[in-house]
Amino acid sequence: MQKLTIALPSGRLKEECLSLINQGNLAELTNSRKLLNFYDEYRLIEVKPIDVPVYVENGVADCGFVGKDILLESNHEVYELLDCQIGKCHLALAQAERGDIESIATKYVNIAKDYCLGNNLHIDIIKLNGSVELAPAVGLANTILDIVSTGNTLRANNLEEIERIMDISVRLIVNKASFQIKREEIDDLVKLIEYKEKGYA
């Protein structure tokens, strides 16, 4: 058997992703700050969520866990193998006062461009790297496009969802060459994740 290198997203999705591949030996990793870890079956690397497809596309990692939002925004050459059924949330447009969309502030510039193309909107799209919900209150844009999970951030900033754009969840992505060379190991990983998804272990 060849060892798989798996890219894990740091931050809020890390624990859930770990639980999908944990065979009773990875628990200590949840709160660890060590970014490269070796186990019997896997070599785990922890990277920024947005960088997971970069590591997988380049073959540094054979596979990785990444949100569908990042895949849609960045368009990397990787196989998307499985919907892991975790990290469920959605992308939405929101405004302080329902009205015409005059400008959009977002981390997801490409998704916003596609939305505008599809809706024949010729407006400014402003790229931010976080705290997007602040934009309407300070007059940067009258609309935001962002992830909504619990809806708490929208509510805390007096924003109202005006359109749900798409559902998002974590996907297992695989390097194209690894998919050929390490097929057996990847099939085993997919089976393990599906088994965990069903709550068997």
In this structure, are strands 160-168 and 103-106 parallel, antiparallel, or unpaired? unpaired
Q: Which is nearer to ligand PRP, 20 or 154 (CB)?
A: 154
Closest distance of CB 128 from ligand PRP, Å: 8
133 binds ligand PRP (CB under 6 A): yes
In whole angstroms, the minimum distance from the beta carbon of 170 to ligand PRP comes to 14
Residues with Cβ < 8 Å from 67, sequence gap 6 or more?
Answer: 9, 13, 49, 87, 168, 169, 170, 171
Name the minimum Å distance from CB 90 to ligand PRP. 9
Single out the segment in contact with ligand PRP by CB under 6 A; choices: 13-21, 93-101, 111-119, 144-152. Answer: 144-152
Amino acid (one-letter) located at 43: R
Binding mask 146-175 for ligand PRP (x = CB under 6 A): xxxxxxxx----------------------
**94 vs 189, beta carbon nearer ligand PRP:** 94
Query: Which residue, chain included where needed, has tokens 């866990």?
Result: 65
CB 112 to ligand PRP: min, Å: 14
CB 96 to ligand PRP: min, Å: 15
Spatial separation of the C-alpha atoms in residues 102 and 135, rounded to whole Å: 13
Stretch that binds ligand PRP, among 39-47, 95-103, 141-149, 162-170 (CB under 6 A): 141-149
Is 110 one of the binding residues for ligand PRP (CB under 6 A)?
no
The beta strand positions in the chain, using DSSP E, are: 4-9, 36-38, 42-47, 63-67, 79-83, 89-95, 103-106, 124-127, 143-148, 160-168, 170-174
Q: What are phi and psi of 26, to 5 degrees?
A: -115, 5
Lookup result for tokens 């380049």: 58
Interface residues with ligand PRP (CB under 6 A) are 130-133, 146-153
